[in-house]
């Protein structure tokens, strides 16, 4: 250790520590830059998503059914039973009478054909 040259004492300038905290704070202060690319990318994604959503919905056609067709559809698909339909109407006897009249029309035709051959 004796062979090493002696160093002079290190001394800071007199006003060095007076302005040091301000200089450090100035260096570490975050930069206020606007990352406009992030916002532009987000806006572009929203616009593209809305466009795809709008154009994909325009190809679908809504088929409007009459009430009778809709009821027949529900009955044919076995979603509703005859009891369900009768429970939804105000006067189920009227519907049953109409069904009987329609069925009797077919039976009368069959009976008439048999009556001609009966005698």
Range of the domain at 114: 81-119
Count of domains forming the chain: 1
Would you say residue 116 lies in a domain?
Answer: yes
**84: nearest Cα among 97, 93, 71, 94:** 71
Judge whether 36 lies within some domain: no
Residue 18 to residues 10, 11, 12, 23, Cα–Cα distance (Å)? 18, 15, 11, 10
Q: Does residue 105 lie within any of the structural domains?
A: yes
Residue 101 domain-assigned (yes or no): yes
Residue 114: inside a domain, yes or no?
yes
C-beta separation of 74 from 80 below 8 A = yes
- Which pLDDT tens digit goes with each residue over 17-26? 888 888 888 8
Per-residue pLDDT 10s for the chain (119 aa) are 678 777 777 788 888 888 888 888 888 877 666 677 888 888 999 999 998 888 776 556 667 778 778 878 888 888 878 778 777 778 878 877 887 887 777 655 555 555 565 55
């Amino acid at each position: 250790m004796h062979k090493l040259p002696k160093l002079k004492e290190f001394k800071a300038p007199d006003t060095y520590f007076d302005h040091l905290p301000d200089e450090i704070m100035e260096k570490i202060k975050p930069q206020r830059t606007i990352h406009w690319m992030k916002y532009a990318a987000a806006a572009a994604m929203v616009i593209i998503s809305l466009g795809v959503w709008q154009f994909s919905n325009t190809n679908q056609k809504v088929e409007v059914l009459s009430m009778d067709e809709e009821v027949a559809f529900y009955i044919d698909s076995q979603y509703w039973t005859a009891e369900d339909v009768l429970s939804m109407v105000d006067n189920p006897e009227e519907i049953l009478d109409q069904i009987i009249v329609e069925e009797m029309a077919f039976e009368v035709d069959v009976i008439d054909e048999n009556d001609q051959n009966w005698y």
